[in-house]
Structure 1
Amino acid sequence: LLGGNKDTACVTCHHPLVGTGDGLSLSIGVGGQGLAPERAFVSERQVLVPRNAPPVFNLGLAGMDTMFWDGRIQQTTPNEFLNPADDYLPAGLENAVAVQAMFPITSRDEMRGQHGDYAVDDKHNVLASIGDHDMPLMWDTMMQMLLTVPEYQQLFQAAYPNTPLAELGFADAANAIAAYEMATFTFLDSPWDRYLQGDASALSPEARRGAMLFFGEAGCAQCHSGPLLTDMQFHNIGVPQVGPGKGEEAPLDYGRSRETENESDLFAFRTPPLRNVSITGPWMHNGVYLTLEDAVRHHLNPVQTVADYDYSQLTDLMQADDWAGTAVRTAALSAPSFALTPTNLSDADVAAILAFLDSLTSPTARDLSFTIPNSVPSGLPVGGAIQAVAAQIPVSEEQIA
């Protein structure tokens, strides 16, 4: 129901059966059909979301105060947030996760749709007719749509018993979405967690050696540190540019610099948390690496890795000629912000680091089918489409490998 054309939902890009992502390098939002890697465009307007869908694991852990690859949402005080809506952001949002939940419905390519669109029920897309800068009206309109559904009325009344329905806003819906994500997808039962709690048998000898490399000579922990295995900072590590790019700089994506306008932030992106990283591919801000090993090896020698990158592994849509010039592919390496020192590791070292990274994955996260409801209050399809995904994309050790 949150999609203007009713062809997208949060689960479109954050599916439990594919590591709370969608298994695509770049997501297909409005105009697509199907779920997870099987999703494809069914309209002539084929616009990819320019960045990889981040997983929603462990958003409930302390320190998760910076959202999106470019950090355009940051919690600065307990009640203040840097955000794209500035002072128009409504009060009452409980955390950065809730603030993030306010914005996908405002994106035309992700969920909102284009002027003149009709929803899958052949009704006019009201959300798409709102001006791009009038986010408060988008939020008010969406909340009114939610409250036309009797079961949602009941659920909101149960969640906010002291607030009349007429006084509820989309911030209350965003708080509810955040509470669901944090409660449902936060896991601290990985082999690494058990090892830290004193269970020496939780890690294989290879994974233990990988941990020593990770926190030692390989230098991974310079950026991937703390309980979330991220410094929540922004770095340009020379990732090859693929896809449409973002904003006026397209086909380039300037990353953090789009928010700060600082040259030192060109092509810098947030250090991704690594919990459950084995099941959250494709990897990097644009999903350029289809295996975790390739993502790890990029750090060893970015210049050579970019030179050797095989663009034929990407979908036809992502290989469009105007995105694939050498200058575009290597732009991040040429920027003054690029700072990644080559590291000399053997194949055995890389295998050990991969074993350690796999130990960061919760066994619960490997099969999240229990989180999928049989129906939703809006009455829009859930069961059939999701069951098809479950049949097509088994979550198994073979898939992770």
Structure 2
Amino acid sequence: MGILCASGFAALADPLPHPLTDADFLSVDPDQAKLGQLLFYDKILSGNKNISCGTCHHADLAGGDGLSLGIGEGGSGVGPSRTGGTGADRVRKRIPRNAPSLWNLGHKDVNVLFHDGRLSISDLYGNGFNSPAEEWLPKGLTNIVAAQAVFPLTAQFEMAGNPKENEVAGAVHDRVDAAWPIISKRVRSIPAYSAEFTRVFEHINHAEDIGIVDIAEALSAFIRMEWRNHDSPFDAYLAGDRTALTPSAHRGMELFFGRAGCSSCHSGSLLTDQRFHALALPAFGPGRTRRFDPYARDVGRMGESDTLEDAYRFRTPPLRNVALTGPYGHNGAYPTLRGMVEHHLDPTGSRARWRPDQAELPALPWLSATDFVITQDRLEMARQDAQIDIEPLALRHAEIDAIVSFLHGLTGETAVKTPFGVPETVPSGLPVDVVYPIDIIDISINRRVQNR
């Protein structure tokens, strides 16, 4: 018995993308990247010094955290075993969205980031970007990854903490740009950091010269080098090795770029059109919406554009190394690739069949009453059900298997061992998050395993 596959487009084969090469990526200074690695895993950048960028984007979890919705500031541990903390310091809210993938963000064509696209390359504010900081984003950021890096530091539930808890959170409460000088001072006050910044950045001669732009540039260099990867079987196939893909993956590729219509959105070398589409994923979590809207719903792109036509639309994610980056969807609704593919295949039916236990949500009893509260809003559910940009098309189960095989064929041969990995220590002396074997992802089945 067949099931449905998404395709709102004619069943004409789309051209295969050009093979990726290092020339497609912005150049990276390895010394700056090494410095960025230390900053990425150092909790000194967070308001309460208890969470790092690497907590939610850990190298041992393929640049993610293995959770549907992350547990940010106030939590304890890393990966699927992360807890919400205890006492007055426990988390007050789940992170509203799934931790986005970091793979190949240094590609020269990347022009928009975040699930709702609230950061994009633009001259609107005179600093090179249209961002939540608007005109207060500091000038001098040379790429979109550097611009993105400064925002988790100022987000209350991600890294900044709650007002009155620390000086960073208090500054953010006044205005977003008031926090960055505080974080910069913390970093340059550590002798090892000031020495490294002086060594690897030509324009920095003294510790006092180190600012948030320099910190962001180092973080960006690390992210762009650590998660650059294009040595998958699909890459080998595009480069001319017609035996690189298994027969099943090859059949899946033909469907992906042909009758299944996947490439109408997942196009180009990164397999994303960088546009926004509504898929009617199952709804849960605290949501993310406009500032004046108290609902637990997530309105997607409309939260940035304030345009009704953008409601419930989310950015098409890149698919390279996608087998490593579950759970899937803007809220991590599906734990496996097959589940996410089948949702594309039949959004309405999959949404109706979805069960809450499919979400990877560590128990937070004090928040459990609100985890699925949005599903009780009949009118909101009807609005989300009505906003779907893809149409169903029947495919056989074997064809679905082939598409999943192709998606596994996008995993790089060296992706599981990134260039830098996780440092044993960081200059601040704060603890570095360690992923334990139970939380390592088995990429063959997209599940946690006991041993590795």
Q: TM-score per shorter chain, which class?
A: over 0.9
Gaps in structure 2 of 5+ consecutive residues: 1-43, 448-452
Aligned pairs for 1:55-94 (under 5 A) are 55-76=101-122, 80-94=128-142
Specify whether residues 99 and 369 from structure 1 end up closer, same or farther in structure 2 by C-alpha distance, changes over 3 A only: closer
Q: Give the superposed CA RMSD.
A: 1.9
1:149 is aligned, of 190, 193, 202, to 190
Mapped contact 1:276–1:365 kept (Cα < 8 A)? yes
Describe the shift of the 1:70–1:61 C-alpha distance in structure 2 as closer, same or farther (beyond 3 A).
same
Pair 1:34 & 2:74 matched: no
The separation in 1 between residues aligned to 2:440 and 2:415, in whole angstroms, is 13
Note the 1:117-132 alignment, pairs <5 A: 117=165, 125-132=166-173
1:144-202 Cα offsets, whole Å, 9 max, x none, are 01111111101111122332332331011101101111011101111100111111221
Matched, 1:378 2:428: yes
C-alpha contact 1:238 1:330 (8 A) present in aligned 2: no
- Look up the match of 1:322: 373
Counterpart among 401, 406, 418 of residue 351 in structure 1: 401
Segment of structure 1 superposing worse, 342-351 or 314-323: 314-323
Retained in 2: the 8 A contact 1:190–1:359?
yes
Indicate which of 314, 328, 350 corresponds to 1:269. Answer: 314
Deviation at 1:395, TM superposition (A): 4.5
What code does the residue aligned with 2:49 have?
K
CA distance in 2, matches of 1:45, 1:185: 29
Give the alignment's TM-score, normalised by structure 1. 0.92
The change in CA–CA distance for 1:323 and 1:369 in structure 2 (over 3 A counts) is: farther
Q: What corresponds to 2:258 in structure 1?
A: 216
2:73 corresponds to 1:23: no
The Cα shift of 1:250 comes to 2.4
Instruction: Between the two structures, name the one with larger relative contact order (CA 8 Å, sep ≥ 6).
Output: 2
**Shift of residue 240 of structure 1?**
1.6
Query: How far off is 1:71 after superposition?
Result: 0.5
Distance 1:330 1:294 in 2: 22
Per the alignment, residue 339 of structure 1 pairs with 389
1:120 — aligned with what?
Answer: none
Moved more, 158-167 or 141-150: 158-167
Aligned length: 388
TM superposition shift of 1:130 = 1.5
CA distance in 2, matches of 1:160, 1:367: 27
Question: Hey, what's the Cα distance between the residues in 1 that align with 2:91 and 2:158?
Answer: 13
CA distance in 2, matches of 1:39, 1:206: 36
Between stretches 126-135 and 338-347, larger displacement belongs to: 126-135
One-letter identity of the residue aligned with 2:153: I
SS of the residue corresponding to residue 145 of structure 1 reads helix
- Alpha-carbon separation, structure 1, partners of 2:77 and 2:130: 34
**1:354 CA displacement:** 0.5
Matched, 1:251 2:296: yes
The answer for unaligned runs of 5 or more in structure 1 is 118-124
Question: Counterparts of 1:209 and 1:312 in 2: how far apart (Å)?
Answer: 32
Show the counterpart of 2:278.
236
Separation in 1 of the partners of 2:168 and 2:135? 21
Query: Which sits farther off after the overlay, 206-215 or 196-205?
Result: 196-205
1:303-337 C-alpha deviation (Å, 9 max, x unpaired): 111111111333354863523326355542224xx
Relative to structure 2, which stretch is displaced further, 35-44 or 15-24?
A: 35-44
- Report the identity percentage: 39
Q: How many Å apart are 1:253 and its aligned residue?
A: 0.6
Measured at CA, do residues 398 and 217 of structure 1 come closer, stay the same or move farther in structure 2, by a change above 3 Å? closer
Letter in 2 for 1:18: L
Q: Which moved more, 1:246-255 or 1:288-297?
A: 246-255
Pair 1:367-2:412 in alignment: no
Shift of 1:397: 4.4
- When structure 1 is superposed on structure 2, of 222-231 and 304-313 the one drifting more is 304-313
- Contact 1:72–1:259 (8 Å) recurs in 2: yes
Tell me, yes or no, if the aligned pair for 1:16 and 1:369 is still in contact at 8 Å.
no
Counterpart for residue 159 of structure 2:
111
Using the TM superposition, give the Cα deviation of residue 79 of structure 1 relative to its aligned residue in structure 2, in angstroms: 6.1
| Structure 2 CA distance for aligned equivalents of residues 50 and 381 of structure 1 | 26
Residue 56 of structure 2 is matched in structure 1 by: 13
Q: Relative to structure 2, which stretch is displaced further, 354-363 or 133-142?
A: 133-142
- 1:378 positional shift: 1.0
* 1:196 corresponds to which of 238, 242, 250: 238
The whole-number CA distance in structure 1 between the counterparts of 2:339 and 2:382 is 17
Using the TM superposition, give the Cα deviation of residue 400 of structure 1 relative to its aligned residue in structure 2, in angstroms: 3.2
Separation (CA, whole Å) in 2 of partners of 1:370 and 1:158: 19
Q: Secondary structure at the match of 1:343?
A: strand
Assess if the C-alpha contact under 8 Å between 1:367 and 1:395 holds in 2.
no
- Work out whether 1:296 is the aligned partner of 2:341: yes
Matches within 5 A, 1:175-190: 175-190=217-232
TM-score of the two chains, using structure 2 as the length reference: 0.82
